[in-house]
Amino acid sequence: MAEALSIIDLENVVVRFSGDSGDGMQLAGNIFSNVSAVLGNDISTFPDYPAEIRAPQGTISGVSGYQVHIGTKKVYTSGDKCDVLVAMNPAALKTNIKFTTPQSIIIIDTDSFTKKDLEKALFVTDDPFAELHICNTVIDAPITSMCKESLKDSGLDNKSIIRCKNMFALGLVCWLFNRPLEHAMHMLQKKFSKKPTIAEANIKVLTDGYNYGHNIHASVPTYRVESSETQKKGFYMDVDGNKATAYGLIAAAERAGLKLFLGSYPITPATDILHELSKHKALGVKTVQAEDEIAGISTAIGASFAGCLAATTTSGPGLCLKSEAINLAVIAELPLVIVDVMRGGPSTGLPTKSEQTDLLQALYGRNGESPLVVIAATSPTNCFESAFYASKIAVEHMTPVILLTDGYIANGSAAWRIPDLTSYPEITPNYVPEGTENWKPYNRDPKTKVRYWAVPGRKGFEHRIGGLEKDFLTSAISTNPANHQKMTETRKAKIDYIATCIPELKVEGNEDASLLVVGWGGTYGHLHSAVKECNQENKPTALAHFNFINPLPKNTLEVLSKYKKIVVCEQNMGQFAGYLRMNFPGLEITQFNKVEGQPLAVNELKKHFIKLMEE
Amino acid sequence: MSELQYKPQDFKSDQYVRWCPGCGDHAFLNYLHKAMSELGIAPHETAVISGIGCSSRLPYYMNTYGFHTIHGRAAAIATGLKVANPKLTVWQISGDGDGLAIGGNHFIHAIRRNIDLNMILLNNEIYGLTKGQYSPTSPRGFVSKSSPYGTVEDPFRPAELTFGARGRFFARTIDVDGPTTVSVLTAAARHKGASVVEVLQNCVIFNNGVHSVLSTKEGRAEYAIQLKQGEPMLFGLNNEKGLIQHGFGLKVVKLGENGITEKDILIHDAHTADNTLHLKLALMQGPDFPVALGVIRDVEAPSYDESVEAQISEVQKNKKTRTLNELLMGGETWELK
């Protein structure tokens, strides 16, 4: 059994914690990713949970998962398949087996594999492994009973004791990957700072889990993932996309010297932005939990009129409800940031799963000619940058900006280097200059077409705006045909001009390849990884990934027309591909589309790219 | 009264007023200008927010900050404006369709939250701008273009809805009654919190004469009661009638009949926290009862916008974090050297 102590060095490891939605898998996964990040690994996480808060215990629909990808180098995705699967019950094993390979190690809680448990998970025999054709290495750990044994003298009631079993699993995984427990203990102390007995119990079970792994000399090697060398020096924290979005908005308000206002209505998976911003009263952030989605955006429009950096946050169904109000911001030319954390649709769809299906809604889902800016964030940490630039554009160009993130990057987390805000550009609101005479509300900068902003409270600039078309010169209500044409063209020109203020499209990978992979938003990690792997295998591939959707970077056509083959990869049925075709009619574009509510798989992408090259 | 700092015309914009000749909105607009000048709040510190409908064109005729928004959302947009800048005096102008149909949800929630808004409900019991459909305040059986056989639904009573949403201020006036209109508008503006003013209003084209019983001085004397704080509830051409409490309800009595003297008559108290009697007064209607005009309820309570500011100050007393960097560095971080 001495070989059990052998240590294997790895570059990347993916661990998937899965169990009942009440089993605390999100916490176990979160602590594991944090512990790894503190050790200097790069991390990317993917919480995969059901829409129900507590589906019937032990059933397939109640399974909750949390996948962590840790690496010595930068990791871009949460990983296609896991190296270790923790399955706290048969339902978790059944639903997550598709995320394993024959080499994956599976850890199960044998106490939860009774006949009754197997029946709940709809197994028809008493051998779930044979039934699922599993030949993997399985660590059979009596997690529940060990947890009970560990806490028998704690004085806690049975329910509280059982709730600690996730920590036993975490301890076992920490042992497997040689993770010291100090930081995990610290996190538990902080989390349960008001319940010291619970903190102590969790720490005891965590330690016992770790020691259990060591003591059983399980016939599996343990792994070491060295600290990442590629990361820059500095202070880091763990951040998910929703938090990063909230911080980006705060940062922008700070750089613009504006108060931040959020009007929002709770909706999965966007609500955490509201939660986060509601905490920061000390920074002067005002949040209104409105009576509905429409009031969420309407309060934000009111706050924008008042001179705030105003935002509203939502997901697809909420974006539908907000469309009329977005148009008010378009015609009134007020700054506004609308964050849409995309989820599976249509209608209520797949609330906790991720898709990119709101793109055309964001671009065109309003009456009239209604141009606005659409930006898409590419990763959890990029949500910060994207929210910052969405705000900057909104305020400087007096326009609503829709920022598209998605459930995958909103809930996925990564290690984030705390930015130096002074290295970010200033944000300069386009206020009516002092001393302006005979000003009218729709007077605009002749070059940028941006109207000047006069905020209520400022003497001498009292004015009226509204949803009716206005005269280009006098700003009075106008139904003049030529004027409407001119105002429509002006609103479009204002948005088009923004193309000169955003970064040009860059190509990654092998620029001289004949195949160009095109993506946008939250699929960046998977596309980057797939393209990188193709290049490593001597299959030249290039990648152009879009952050800015409307307007498109001004060199878009120039870049795209260099390539013999283009494949646009999206988690929808081809919305961006269609948008590119409409903008650049001559381009030959092929598509790769998936709408399974799950992240794209690197391997599948790679196979598709190689097939395209060979055609 | 000291000399007014502002005159009504200081609140008037240069735009040509486009309502139909004879529309109640004209009179109301003038009284609003007058009320604003009496309040003495500068035009640049005043904002008027409206939704959609005939009356919602009103901001264009004001020389204040103004925003003519979208159908039904005026209360929500005004909420954002007021919370963002509590120093502004914010007026919300809506009709019965804008405020109680498409915007009903925002109406009740703005009242419930007690946002310090002056919410004006111009109630002509009809949709004018879409050319004559029944509204949520039209009476049952009302015949209109969209109800040729009469409606089969009961209307909202704005006061009932306001009180149901825990409203602290409710007043009623009629478009043709200048003094009452100006006095309830100034009272609404001075009330801290959501103040609802129902303006009974004529639509000369689609619902002409809807409030005709009350449109003359004599009619109002006979069929309405002007409620005044601390005064007995008397009405009639010679103030010969009054209201008394009778069992669980109110009763109209005549002074001198059955030994009734002025001492028996109810004294109006808009400041009583309990809204039972306010509701009874507000729901009175002819032919058995006079329609109540004036400030029916006016009870102070903390406003939402003020509470938001107070909460921020309270948190800031205990937390010294003021920038994003301080916030992030004060959290769970690690250093990579």
Identify any residues that bridge with A417 across adjacent strands, giving them in sequence order: A236
Residues in chain A with CB shorter than 8 Å from the CB of B337 are: 233
Residue A219 is predicted with a pLDDT of 56
What does the alpha-carbon distance between residue A177 and residue A31 come to, in Å, rounded to a whole number? Answer: 14
ipTM: 0.97
Count of helix runs (H) and strand runs (E) in chain B? 10, 12
Residues of chain A with CATH 3.40.920.10: 2-225
Q: Do A288 and B79 count as a contact with CB atoms less than 8 A apart?
A: yes
Measure in Å the smallest separation between the Cα of A331 and chain B Cα atoms. Answer: 10
- The beta-carbon neighbor of A237 closest among B67, B311, B328 is B328
What does the alpha-carbon distance between residue B328 and residue A39 come to, in Å, rounded to a whole number? Answer: 19
* pLDDT value at A272 more than 50: yes
CA B65 to chain CA centroid, Å, is 20
- The beta-carbon neighbor of B76 closest among A190, A298, A327 is A298
Q: Do A324 and B70 count as a contact with CB atoms less than 8 A apart?
A: yes
Domains of chain B: 8-215 (3.40.50.970)
Q: A residues 128-167 near B, CB within 8 Å? A: none
Q: Do A466 and B64 count as a contact with CB atoms less than 8 A apart?
A: no
Using a CB–CB cutoff of 8 Å, tell me whether A422 touches chain B.
no
Condensed to tens digits (0 to 9), the pLDDT of residues A135-148 reads 888 999 999 999 99
Residue A237 is predicted with a pLDDT of 92
Find the residue in A nearest to B320 (Cα).
A282
Residues in chain B with CB shorter than 8 Å from the CB of A40 are: 336
Q: Do B81 and A456 count as a contact with CB atoms less than 8 A apart?
A: yes
Using a CB–CB cutoff of 8 Å, tell me whether A476 touches chain B.
yes
**Cα end-to-end distance, chain B, whole Å:** 73
Rg (CA), chain A: 26
Task: Specify the length of chain A in residues.
Answer: 615
Residue B1 is predicted with a pLDDT of 45
Residues in chain B with CB shorter than 8 Å from the CB of A327 are: 70
What does the alpha-carbon distance between residue A37 and residue A32 come to, in Å, rounded to a whole number? Answer: 9
Helix (H), strand (E), coil (C) string for A45-104: EEEECCCCCCCCCCCHHHEEEEEEEEECCCCCCCCCCEEEEEECCHHHHHHHHHHEEEEE
- A97: amino acid identity, one letter: I
Structure tokens at B316: 């800031």
Identify any residues that bridge with B89 across adjacent strands, giving them in sequence order: B46
Residue B179: asked if its preceding bond is cis (omega within 30°), the reply is: no
What does the alpha-carbon distance between residue A590 and residue A565 come to, in Å, rounded to a whole number? Answer: 8
**A533 closest CA partner among A444, A606, A459:** A606
Task: Give me the residues of chain B with pLDDT under 70, please.
Answer: 1-4
- Please return the burial class of B165, using the count of CB atoms within 10 Å of its CB with bins 0-12, 13-18 and 19+: middle
**Cα end-to-end distance, chain A, whole Å:** 51
What does the alpha-carbon distance between residue A432 and residue A414 come to, in Å, rounded to a whole number? Answer: 41
Domain A237-423 has CATH 3.40.50.970: yes
Q: Do B336 and A290 count as a contact with CB atoms less than 8 A apart?
A: no
Residue A39 is predicted with a pLDDT of 87
Sheet holding A542-546, edge to edge: A507-509, A542-546, A515-520, A565-570, A590-593
Using a CB–CB cutoff of 8 Å, tell me whether B165 touches chain A.
no
Residue B287: asked if its preceding bond is cis (omega within 30°), the reply is: yes
Q: B residues 87-106 near A, CB within 8 Å? A: 87-88, 105-106
Residue A7 is predicted with a pLDDT of 67
What does the alpha-carbon distance between residue A545 and residue A530 come to, in Å, rounded to a whole number? Answer: 13
Helix intervals (H) in A106-164: 115-120, 128-131, 143-150, 158-162
Q: Do A464 and B329 count as a contact with CB atoms less than 8 A apart?
A: no
Structure tokens at A155: 């004085």
Find the residue in B nearest to A296 (Cα).
B76
- The beta-carbon neighbor of B109 closest among A295, A310, A456 is A295
Between A466 and A47, name the one with better pLDDT.
Answer: A466
Contact status, residue B124 vs residue B207, Cβ threshold 8 Å: yes
Residues of chain A with CATH 3.40.50.970: 237-423
What does the alpha-carbon distance between residue A387 and residue A389 come to, in Å, rounded to a whole number? Answer: 6
Using a CB–CB cutoff of 8 Å, tell me whether B62 touches chain A.
yes
Residue A3 is predicted with a pLDDT of 37
Residue B220 is predicted with a pLDDT of 96
- The three-state secondary structure class of A356 is coil
- The beta-carbon neighbor of A282 closest among B43, B87, B315 is B315
**A503 closest CA partner among A468, A455, A553:** A553
Measure in Å the smallest separation between the Cα of B63 and chain A Cα atoms. Answer: 6
Find the residue in A nearest to B328 (Cα).
A418
Condensed to tens digits (0 to 9), the pLDDT of residues A183-230 reads 999 999 999 999 999 999 999 999 999 999 888 765 566 666 666 656
**A277 closest CA partner among A327, A337, A237, A217:** A337
Condensed to tens digits (0 to 9), the pLDDT of residues A518-562 reads 999 999 999 999 999 999 999 999 999 999 999 999 999 999 999
Residue A56: asked if its preceding bond is cis (omega within 30°), the reply is: no
**A211 closest CA partner among A241, A171, A271:** A171
**A613 closest CA partner among A564, A569, A562:** A564
Residues in chain B with CB shorter than 8 Å from the CB of A337 are: none
* pLDDT value at A280 more than 90: yes
Measure in Å the smallest separation between the Cα of B169 and chain A Cα atoms. Answer: 21
Contact status, residue B336 vs residue A234, Cβ threshold 8 Å: yes
What does the alpha-carbon distance between residue B206 and residue B129 come to, in Å, rounded to a whole number? Answer: 10
Picking from B6, B67, B319, B329 by the largest number of A CB atoms within 10 A of its own CB, the best residue to mutate is B67
What single string gives the DSSP state of each residue in A482-534?
A: HHHHHHHHHHHHHHHHGGGGSPPP-EEE-TT-SEEEEEEGGGHHHHHHHHHHH
Condensed to tens digits (0 to 9), the pLDDT of residues A163-174 reads 999 999 999 999
CATH class of A2-225: alpha beta
Condensed to tens digits (0 to 9), the pLDDT of residues B194-248 reads 999 999 999 999 999 999 999 999 999 999 999 999 999 999 999 999 999 999 9
Residues in chain A with CB shorter than 8 Å from the CB of B93 are: none
Contact status, residue B332 vs residue B221, Cβ threshold 8 Å: no
Q: Do B335 and A234 count as a contact with CB atoms less than 8 A apart?
A: yes
What does the alpha-carbon distance between residue A575 and residue A228 come to, in Å, rounded to a whole number? Answer: 37
- The three-state secondary structure class of B137 is coil
Contact status, residue B312 vs residue B285, Cβ threshold 8 Å: no
Residues in chain A with CB shorter than 8 Å from the CB of B83 are: 261, 286, 288, 299, 302-303
pLDDT band at A4 (very low <50, low <70, confident <90, very high): very low
* pLDDT value at A5 more than 70: no
Structure tokens at A83: 């190296």
Condensed to tens digits (0 to 9), the pLDDT of residues A104-143 reads 999 999 999 999 999 999 999 999 999 999 988 899 999 9
**B56 closest CA partner among B38, B75, B41:** B75
Residue A521 is predicted with a pLDDT of 98
Identify any residues that bridge with A311 across adjacent strands, giving them in sequence order: A262, A337
Measure in Å the smallest separation between the Cα of A225 and chain B Cα atoms. Answer: 16
Residue A222 is predicted with a pLDDT of 65
Picking from B105, B109, B114, B336 by the largest number of A CB atoms within 10 A of its own CB, the best residue to mutate is B336
What does the alpha-carbon distance between residue A578 and residue A582 come to, in Å, rounded to a whole number? Answer: 6
Size of interface A-B (CB pairs under 8 A): 197
Rg (CA), chain B: 22
Residues in chain B with CB shorter than 8 Å from the CB of A332 are: 67
Identify any residues that bridge with B156 across adjacent strands, giving them in sequence order: none
Using a CB–CB cutoff of 8 Å, tell me whether A180 touches chain B.
no
Using a CB–CB cutoff of 8 Å, tell me whether B67 touches chain A.
yes
What does the alpha-carbon distance between residue B183 and residue B197 come to, in Å, rounded to a whole number? Answer: 11
**B178 closest CA partner among B41, B80, B34, B307:** B34
- The three-state secondary structure class of A267 is coil
Residues in chain A with CB shorter than 8 Å from the CB of B109 are: 290-291, 295
Residue A220 is predicted with a pLDDT of 61
Contact status, residue A475 vs residue A333, Cβ threshold 8 Å: no
Residue A1 is predicted with a pLDDT of 31
- C-alpha distances (whole Å) from B88 to each of A279, A360, A539, B82, B85 are 26, 38, 64, 7, 6
CATH number, span A507-614: 3.40.50.920
Structure tokens at A366: 């309003």
Q: Do A298 and B106 count as a contact with CB atoms less than 8 A apart?
A: yes
- The beta-carbon neighbor of A467 closest among B43, B69, B337 is B69
> Strand A100-109 to strand A82-87: parallel, antiparallel, or no bridges (unpaired)?
parallel
CA-CA-CA-CA torsion for A365, A366, A371, A375, nearest 10 degrees? -40
Q: Do B331 and A237 count as a contact with CB atoms less than 8 A apart?
A: yes
Using a CB–CB cutoff of 8 Å, tell me whether B41 touches chain A.
no
DSSP state of A426: P
Residue A578 is predicted with a pLDDT of 98
Structure tokens at A470: 């206005």
Task: Specify the length of chain B in residues.
Answer: 337
Condensed to tens digits (0 to 9), the pLDDT of residues A454-494 reads 999 999 999 999 999 999 999 999 999 999 999 999 999 99
- The beta-carbon neighbor of A237 closest among B43, B323, B332 is B332
Residues in chain A with CB shorter than 8 Å from the CB of B76 are: 290-291, 294-295, 298-299, 302
Structure tokens at A297: 């955006």
DSSP state of A470: B
Using a CB–CB cutoff of 8 Å, tell me whether B5 touches chain A.
no
Q: Do B67 and A292 count as a contact with CB atoms less than 8 A apart?
A: no
Q: Do A303 and B62 count as a contact with CB atoms less than 8 A apart?
A: no
> Strand B291-298 to strand B224-227: parallel, antiparallel, or no bridges (unpaired)?
parallel
Q: Do B85 and A457 count as a contact with CB atoms less than 8 A apart?
A: yes
Sheet holding A400-406, edge to edge: A286-289, A260-264, A309-314, A336-342, A400-406, A373-376, A548-550
Structure tokens at B55: 């009356």
Q: A residues 190-209 near B, CB within 8 Å? A: 190
Residue B93 is predicted with a pLDDT of 97
- The beta-carbon neighbor of A299 closest among B15, B43, B80 is B80
Average pLDDT across chain A, whole number: 93
- A530: amino acid identity, one letter: A
**B122 closest CA partner among B75, B174, B49, B78:** B174
Measure in Å the smallest separation between the Cα of B160 and chain A Cα atoms. Answer: 20
> Which DSSP helix (H) or strand (E) runs through B198?
strand B195-200
Structure tokens at A240: 């998910």
Identify any residues that bridge with B197 across adjacent strands, giving them in sequence order: B120, B171
Residues in chain B with CB shorter than 8 Å from the CB of A191 are: none
Picking from A235, A305, A391 by the largest number of B CB atoms within 10 A of its own CB, the best residue to mutate is A305
* pLDDT value at A585 more than 60: yes
- Please return the burial class of A124, using the count of CB atoms within 10 Å of its CB with bins 0-12, 13-18 and 19+: exposed
